[in-house]
Copies of this chain bind each other. A is one copy, B any other.
Amino acid sequence: MRVLGVDPGLTRCGVGVVEGVAGRPLTMVGVGVVRTPADAELGHRLVEIERGIERWLDEYRPERLAVERVFSQHNVRTVMGTAQASAVAMLCAARRGIPVALHTPSEVKAAVTGSGRADKAQVGAMVTRLLRLDAPPKPADAADALALAICHIWRAPAQNRLQQAVAAHRTLKGRTA
């Protein structure tokens, strides 16, 4: 399975492509950042993010997109930008029929470090180890995007079982209704 992880943001959108299956060593296929100028108009920034994500989808043809699930935290302004950038990434994938999965920051941290409260450095260190890289990918957004992709590959079997259970339950409900 090839997954494009996206750590959304208006100024820096981390992107990372990881290939592999749960329980086997994973491979980094690509990593980078889509940037937009902070002083550009919001509409233009969203167009730039769309172009950037489209380039990554064109070049790496991922089978899945994994995006950070955005919560409203302390900095409202940042959260809005994050929600907007993530919307553009999800839109680009869904238009191509690529399934989109959302993972919370603590799910991602727990998946790669074992602790949902790990810090940036710990996540970077584990991403470096798990993908057998020479050094932690920079900036942190790029490392976070890779962590998202790793998290998705590892959580996918459990998520599929859940979805199948929900679908089976719905079918059952439909039959008994």
| CB < 8 Å neighbour of A91 from B50, B72, B93 | B50
Write the chain B residue with the least CB distance to A74.
Answer: B72
Q: How far is the CA of A71 from the CA of B76 in the complex (A)?
A: 7
By a CB distance below 8 angstroms, the chain B residues around A22 are none
Q: How far is the CA of A88 from the CA of B65 in the complex (A)?
A: 18
Which A71-96 residues have C-beta < 8 A from chain B? 71-72, 76, 79-80, 83-88, 90-91, 93-95
| CB < 8 Å neighbour of A90 from B43, B71, B86, B95 | B43
Write the chain B residue with the least CB distance to A43.
Answer: B94
Which A52-79 residues have C-beta < 8 A from chain B? 65, 70-72, 76, 79
Write the chain B residue with the least CB distance to A46.
Answer: B91
Write the chain B residue with the least CB distance to A84.
Answer: B87
A100 within 8 A of B: yes
Contact B94 A87 (CB under 8 A): no
A133 within 8 A of B: no
Contact A46 B87 (CB under 8 A): yes
Q: How far is the CA of A86 from the CA of B80 in the complex (A)?
A: 10
| CB < 8 Å neighbour of A93 from B43, B93, B94 | B43
Enumerate chain A interface residues (CB-CB to B < 8 A): 41-44, 46-47, 50, 65, 70-72, 76, 79-80, 83-88, 90-91, 93-95, 99-100, 102
Known: A42-B90, A43-B90, A87-B88. 19 other contacts (CB 8 A): A41-B94, A41-B99, A42-B102, A43-B65, A43-B91, A43-B94, A43-B100, A46-B90, A46-B94, A47-B95, A71-B76, A72-B72, A72-B76, A80-B83, A83-B83, A84-B87, A84-B90, A87-B87, A88-B91
